Chains A and B, each alone.
Chain A
Amino acid sequence: MNLQHPPPGRYPPRPHPLALLLLFAIAFVLTTMAALATGTPAGTLISNTAQASYSVGASSLSKSSNTSTFAVAELINVNVVSQDGGNVGVVPGTDDQYLTFTVTNTGNGDESFTLSADSAIAGDDFDPTLVGIFADTNGDGQYTPGVDLAVPGGVVDLAADAGVTLFVVNNIPSTLPDGVTPIADGQTGTTSVSITSNTGSGALGTLIPNGGDGGTIDAIIGSSGGLPATTDATYTATSISLDVAKTAVIVDPYGGSTPIPGATVTYSLVVTVSGSGTAVGLTITDPIPANTTYKPGSLTLDGVGLSDGAGNDDGEATGSPVNLITVRLGDMTAGSKTITFAVVID
Chain B
Amino acid sequence: MKNLGISILAILLLTPSLLWAKEVIDLTSKVEIEVVTTNEQGEQVTVRQPASKVLPGETLIYTNTYHNVGDDLAQNIVVNNAVPAHTSYIAGSAFGDGCEILLSADGGKSYASEGELTVVGDDGTSRPALPEEITHLRWIVREYQKPGDGGDVGFRVRLQ
A: residues with CB less than 8 A from B are 38-40, 44, 46-61, 63-68, 70, 72-73, 75, 108, 207, 218, 220, 222
Contact in complex: B75, A54 (CB < 8 Å): yes
Chain B, Cβ-Cβ closest to A38: B56
Residues on the B chain within 8 Å of A66, using CB = 28-29
Residues of A contacting B: mostly: strand
Contact in complex: B75, A63 (CB < 8 Å): no
Chain A, Cβ-Cβ closest to B87: A46
Contact in complex: A55, B29 (CB < 8 Å): no
Residues on the A chain within 8 Å of B72, using CB = 56-57
B: residues with CB less than 8 A from A are 17-18, 21-31, 50-57, 60, 62, 64, 66, 70, 72-82, 84-87, 145, 159-160
Residues of B contacting A: mostly: strand
Task: Give A77 to B80 CA distance when docked, in angstroms.
Answer: 37
Residues on the A chain within 8 Å of B22, using CB = 56
Task: Give A72 to B105 CA distance when docked, in angstroms.
Answer: 25
Residues on the B chain within 8 Å of A75, using CB = 55-56
Contact in complex: B55, A67 (CB < 8 Å): no
Contact in complex: B26, A39 (CB < 8 Å): no
Contact in complex: A70, B76 (CB < 8 Å): no
Could you list 14 examples of A-B contacts with CB < 8 Å?
Answer: A40-B56, A46-B159, A48-B29, A48-B62, A50-B64, A52-B78, A56-B74, A61-B21, A61-B25, A63-B23, A68-B31, A72-B55, A108-B56, A220-B53
Residues on the B chain within 8 Å of A58, using CB = 17-18
Interchain CB contact (< 8 A) of B76 among A48, A50, A53, A218: A53
Contact in complex: A72, B64 (CB < 8 Å): no
Interchain CB contact (< 8 A) of B26 among A40, A44, A63: A63
A220 to chain B, nearest CB (A): 6
Residues on the B chain within 8 Å of A73, using CB = 52-55
Residues on the A chain within 8 Å of B53, using CB = 73, 207, 218, 220
Chain A, Cβ-Cβ closest to B85: A46
Most buried by B among A47, A64, A67: A47
Contact in complex: B73, A56 (CB < 8 Å): yes
Contact in complex: A46, B17 (CB < 8 Å): no
A78 to chain B, nearest CB (A): 15
Additional A-B contact list (15), CB under 8 Å, known A50-B79, A51-B81, A52-B66:
A38-B56, A39-B57, A44-B86, A48-B82, A50-B64, A52-B78, A52-B80, A53-B76, A54-B75, A56-B21, A66-B29, A68-B29, A70-B52, A72-B55, A73-B55
Given A39-B57, A46-B86: A52 touches B24 (CB 8 Å cut-off): no
Task: Give A65 to B84 CA distance when docked, in angstroms.
Answer: 14
Contact in complex: A40, B86 (CB < 8 Å): yes
Residues on the A chain within 8 Å of B29, using CB = 48-50, 65-68
Given A54-B25, A56-B24, A63-B25: A72 touches B62 (CB 8 Å cut-off): no
A46 to chain B, nearest CB (A): 5
The 5 closest A-B pairs by CB, nearest first: A39-B56, A59-B21, A65-B29, A65-B27, A50-B64
Residues on the B chain within 8 Å of A56, using CB = 21-22, 24, 70, 72-75
